[in-house]
């Protein structure tokens, strides 16, 4: 999961970096469905996010690594908390979510 601003910043960073070449993965956080549900339920208890996902793996089967991008010197600006806080504020501002 990656904030759209981080994706844009990563594109600019790689375009301007002389040593950059090839493909880059831009993944700020690896999180599986149960972990995400637990995070959302704790952070936004008013939303009553279901947390029973027995059919889903408790850990991600595949991790996306931004190691190459970070090794070039890129740093992610936004974490999962900020991504969802901004999303919640947007939904509230648009009247799609009650306060």
pTM: 0.84
3-state secondary structure of 81: helix
**Domain extent listing, the chain:** 4-93
What's the rounded mean pLDDT across residues 85-97?
Answer: 95
Distance CA(93)–CA(26), nearest Å, equals 28
Distance CA(34)–CA(60), nearest Å, equals 10
Residue 24: band (very low, low, confident or very high) from pLDDT cuts 50, 70, 90: very high
pLDDT for the residue numbered 60: 75
Instruction: Compute the mean pLDDT over every residue in the chain, rounded to the nearest whole number.
Output: 93
Q: Count Cβ neighbours within 10 Å for each residue of 75-84 and write b for 16 or more, e otherwise.
A: ebebebeebb
């Amino acid at each position: 999961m990656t904030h759209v601003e981080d994706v844009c910043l990563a594109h600019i960073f790689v375009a301007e970096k002389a040593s950059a070449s090839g493909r880059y993965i831009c993944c700020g956080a690896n999180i599986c469905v149960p972990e995400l549900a637990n995070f959302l339920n704790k952070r936004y208890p008013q939303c009553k996010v279901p947390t029973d996902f027995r059919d889903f793996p408790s850990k991600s089967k595949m991790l996306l690594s931004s190691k190459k991008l970070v090794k070039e010197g890129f740093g992610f600006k936004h974490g999962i908390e900020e991504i969802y806080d901004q999303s919640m504020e947007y939904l509230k501002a648009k009247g799609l979510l009650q306060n």
